[in-house]
Amino acid sequence: MKRSVHKIIAYVVLILVSFLCLFWFYALFINATRSNGELSRGFSLLPGSALVKNWNSMLHCALPVMNSMKNSLIISLCASVLCSYFSIMTAYGIHAYCFPGRKMFYTVMIGFMMIPRQVTALGFISIVDKMHMMDTFWPLILPEIASPIVFYYMIKYMESTLPMSLVEAARIDGATELFVFNRIVLPLMKPAFAVQMIFKFVESWNNYFIPALILHEDSKKTMPIVISLLRSGDFANFDNGLIYMVIAFSILPSIVIYLCLSQFIISGITSGGIKG
């Protein structure tokens, strides 16, 4: 009896939390279908009649919304894939090999987690300028490969998931280290890879501070920069319907990435439970 009561309470809490999380997405997409006049009258649970108008306004507005979407996709996909892959490789190097200074290297990597990005921004911009990489995507992709937070998550996951006996068996069979990593270690790390790729994609997608300092040409701007420019436009021509449409459009890639990668998280948890 007590167990069923606990289960009911758990379901009620989960439903409540899910509602609170999803309601704001619902409100965003509803507001994207309403005109500026309808939005000024207050919130409504029913869709408006300006979906096509807001979509056409987004496609034909003065700012390059579609081009900025492409730019953000290129930067976020490259940064998330490279960061996740090389973080697993770094974690594997620390976990699988014994070498002098291993513990010190691990401690230093953890220490880098404590340094806010804003502290190093001035020096980073100076280096990027000296390397003639301003107004390019490279400064937003290459530094993301070395992410101490993702490395820390990967090595902790690897410590509980990767059996070294499997790696040693592959080495005895004559497999190269690159083969062991790509064919044995990486498949076992699929759930961690998927989780961190989702987080890194969203982080890179929402990044405004560094891209705003590096990207100056309109053709190179990312979605957060374009949204900020839309919101700071002329008040007389301010269109809330257009703003909501652009914001709703901008979160679609994050939703798609989550839906595509969540199957690897679920399958990894399921296979782990079966093995256990």
Question: 236 pLDDT exceeds 60?
Answer: no
Q: Is residue 248 part of a domain?
A: no
The model's confidence at residue 267, banded by pLDDT at 50, 70 and 90, is low
Q: Is residue 39 part of a domain?
A: no
pLDDT digits (tens, 9 = 90+) for 119-150: 888 889 999 999 999 999 999 999 988 888 89
Q: Is residue 115 part of a domain?
A: yes
> 63-77, 90-104, 185-199 — which is least confidently predicted?
90-104
pLDDT at 274 (0 to 100): 35
Domain of residue 181: give its range: 64-232
Number of domains in the chain: 1
pLDDT digits (tens, 9 = 90+) for 1-44: 667 888 888 899 999 999 998 898 999 999 999 998 888 888 88
239 or 220, greater pLDDT: 220
Among the listed residues 62, 24, 91, the one whose alpha carbon sits nearest the alpha carbon of residue 248: 24
Distance spanning both ends of the chain, measured CA to CA:
29
Q: Is residue 70 part of a domain?
A: yes
For residue 274, CA distances in Å to 189, 196, 231, 267 come to: 16, 23, 50, 11
pLDDT at 40 (0 to 100): 85
The model's confidence at residue 237, banded by pLDDT at 50, 70 and 90, is low
DSSP-based three-state secondary structure for 147: coil
Instruction: Say how far residue 168 (Cα) sits from the centre of its chain.
Output: 34
pLDDT digits (tens, 9 = 90+) for 90-116: 999 888 888 888 888 888 888 888 888
Q: Is residue 256 part of a domain?
A: no
pTM to 2 decimal places: 0.86
Q: Is residue 7 part of a domain?
A: no
Residue 33 has which token pair?
């279908």
CATH number reported for the structural domain that contains residue 138 in this entry: 1.10.3720.10
pLDDT at 1 (0 to 100): 64
Percent of the chain's residues with pLDDT above 70: 93
DSSP 147-168: -HHHHHHHHHHHHHH--HHHHH
Q: Is residue 165 part of a domain?
A: yes
Question: 66 pLDDT exceeds 60?
Answer: yes
Q: Is residue 150 part of a domain?
A: yes
